[in-house]
Chains A and B, each alone.
Chain A
Amino acid sequence: MASRGIHRDGKYGGMRASSCGWETIFPISKPTPPQRSHGSVHHESGRHRPIVCGLSAEWRMVHSPNTTTDRKPDCESTSSQSVEQSVVKKYKTEFDKYGTADQGFNVICTTYRLTEHYHYWTKNNPMNGPASFLSRCRSAGGTRRPYGHSRGERIKVTSARQPLHREGYGLPGASVR
Chain B
Amino acid sequence: MKIDGKEMFQIGLPIHWGFRGIAEDEGKTCKDLANQLTPTVIDPNAFTPEFKGFLVKIEKA
From A84, which residue of chain B is reached at the shortest CB distance?
B44
Among A134, A138, A165, chain B packs the most CB atoms within 10 A around the CB of A134
Interface size class of B (residues with CB under 8 A): 35 or more
Q: Are B57 and A138 in contact (CB under 8 A)?
A: no
A146 and B9 form a contact (CB under 8 A): yes
A164 and B45 contact, Cβ closer than 8 Å, known pairs A110-B52, A138-B13, A159-B38: no
> How far apart are A140's CB and chain B's nearest CB, in angstroms?
8
Select one of B39, B51, B59 contacting A156, CB under 8 A: B59
Interface secondary structure of A, over-half rule: loop
Mask, A134-148, CB within 8 Å of B = 1, is: 111111101100111
CB <8 Å contact, B12 and A135: no
User: Which residues of chain B from 24 to 41 have any CB-CB distance to chain A below 8 Å in the complex?
Assistant: 29-30, 32-41
Tally A-B pairs: CB < 8 A: 200
- Whether the Cβ atoms of A158 and B9 lie closer than 8 Å is no
Nearest B residue to A158 via CB reads: B57
Output the least CB separation between A78 and chain B (Å).
5
Which residues of A have CB within 8 Å of B40?
90-91, 93, 95-96
Instruction: List chain B residues, Cβ under 8 A from A111.
Output: 12-15, 34-35, 37-38, 51-52
The number of chain A residues touching the other chain, given as a range, is: 35 or more
A113 to B38, CA, bound (A): 14
Interface presence of A109 (CB below 8 A): yes
Which residue of chain B lies nearest to A148 when distances are taken between CB atoms in the complex? B60
B60 surroundings in chain A (CB, below 8 A): 147-149, 153-156
Docked-complex contact B37 and A90, CB < 8 angstroms: no
Closest to B32 in A: A164
Please indicate the chain B residues that have their CB under 8 angstroms from the CB of A89 in the complex: 41-44
Q: Which of A95, A100, A108, A147 has the most CB of B within 10 A?
A: A108
Known: A88-B41, A132-B19. A110 touches B53 (CB 8 A): yes
Task: Check B44 against A166 for contact (C-beta < 8 Å).
Answer: no
The 7 closest A-B pairs by CB, nearest first: A105-B55, A165-B29, A154-B61, A159-B37, A138-B12, A89-B44, A114-B16
